[in-house]
Amino acid sequence: MIKVLDRIQAGEVLLSDGAMGTELQKRGLPTGACPEEFNVTHAEIVQSIYRDYYRAGSDIIETNTFGGTRSRLAIHGKENEVYRFNRRGAELAREVCPPGRFVAGSMGPTGEILEPLGTLSVAKAYDYFAEQAEALAEGGVDIIYVETMMAIEEAEIAVKAVKEKTGLPVVGSMTFNLTDGGVRTSMGVDAATMVGRLTAVGADLLGANCGTGVEVVLAAIEEMQPLSPLPFLAQPNAGIPQMTDHLIVYPETPQSFEQKIEQVLQFRIGILGGCCGTGPEHIIRLRTLLNKHHPVG
């Protein structure tokens, strides 16, 4: 079977998935509950989301393990479930993954701030990410997305831990804001710093995900491309949410999202998808778009 990285490196744009958290809540996850726990308590719900994204046309779906580090699970009193929640999250995806498609292990931030500004030590952060990466690898993921990172040191440690402990392909993706001085994460990381430091620790793809919409992801990749020969991951949010009567609505409809994301395809994209506010309908649109740009056969 052709591996995920081979296909990307051959110039293919693989389609990833949309949001997980909001889909889980639509299907019964109570507000404030631990999403990763659903991998063991409500496997059928988690699997139904995976399946819907594959059906919508995703080449890669992400495991329900974004908050699966020990530090995030500890908030729910589940710090001793790292192995079980992450491994099961990956296995559930593997079970429904059609031939020729892939499973990506999702790894988000620890939610803590590194020393000296915060209290998290480098060694501890490394252990958190290593533990999660190993469980995801055992569950059978093909690639790992280190995503929604805002601190460069934390992103670096996570990419390094994945590489050293699993040897799997890894995406290093951060969340940017637009400023007068170019894109910056909320911790102040610019595109050049990110490209330099995540490449040095062995990231196979660099990326921009989440944020205020397609525009900021587009700007980030535009800044990164001249600085690196690596392919990019682009997974923007569907804009800034609006409030209707007791309902949160993202402004980017599947149609408008598709139109905006077409601009992203002028860059060296390896993985395309959506983040908060995107669902299977957005992915169906992106599938059509990609087929148009890269006709099959």
Partner 1 sequence: MMNEKLKLLAICIERGKVDSQTSYPPDMQGQSGASELTRELLDEDVDPNDILAKALMVGMQRIGDKFGNGQAFIPDLLIAAKAMYAAMAHLKPYFDSGAARHKGTIILGTVAGDLHDIGKNLVRMVMEGDGWKVIDLGTNVSAEKFVDSVRSNPGSMVGLSALLTTTMLNMGPITQKVKELNAETKVFVGGAPLSQQFCDKIGADGYFPDPQSLVRHLNTKPN
Site for partner 1 in 34-93 (CB under 8 A): 75-76
| Residue 200 engages partner 1 in binding (rule: CB under 8 A) | no
Cα gap 182→184, rounded to integer Å: 7
Give the other-Cβ count within 10 Å of 238's Cβ. 26
Q: Stretches 46-54, 113-121, 124-132, 226-234: which one binds partner 1 (CB under 8 A)?
A: 113-121
Restricted to residues 241-270, the positions that interact with partner 1 (CB under 8 A) are 241-243, 246, 248
Decide whether 68 or 270 has the Cβ nearer to partner 1.
Answer: 68
Structure tokens at 39: 């991998």
Q: How far apart are CA 57 and CA 50, in angstroms?
A: 11
Q: Is the Cβ of residue 22 or residue 86 nearer to partner 1 in the bound state?
A: 22
22 is a contact residue toward partner 1 (CB under 8 A): yes
**By CB under 8 A, how many residues form the interface with partner 1?**
30
Q: Is 21 in the site for partner 1 (CB under 8 A)?
A: yes
Residue 173's DSSP bridge partners are 207
Question: Could you give the string, one character per residue 217-246, with x where binding to partner 1 holds by CB under 8 A and - elsewhere?
Answer: -----------------------xxxx--x
Q: Which of 180, 226, 229, 295 forms a contact with partner 1 (CB under 8 A)? A: 180
CB of 30 to partner 1, least distance (A): 8
Burial class (CB in 10 A: 0-12, 13-18, 19+), 296: exposed
Q: Does 32 bind partner 1 (CB under 8 A)?
A: yes
- Positions that interact with partner 1 (CB under 8 A): 21-22, 25, 31-32, 75-76, 111, 113, 117-118, 150, 177-181, 184-188, 240-243, 246, 248, 276-277
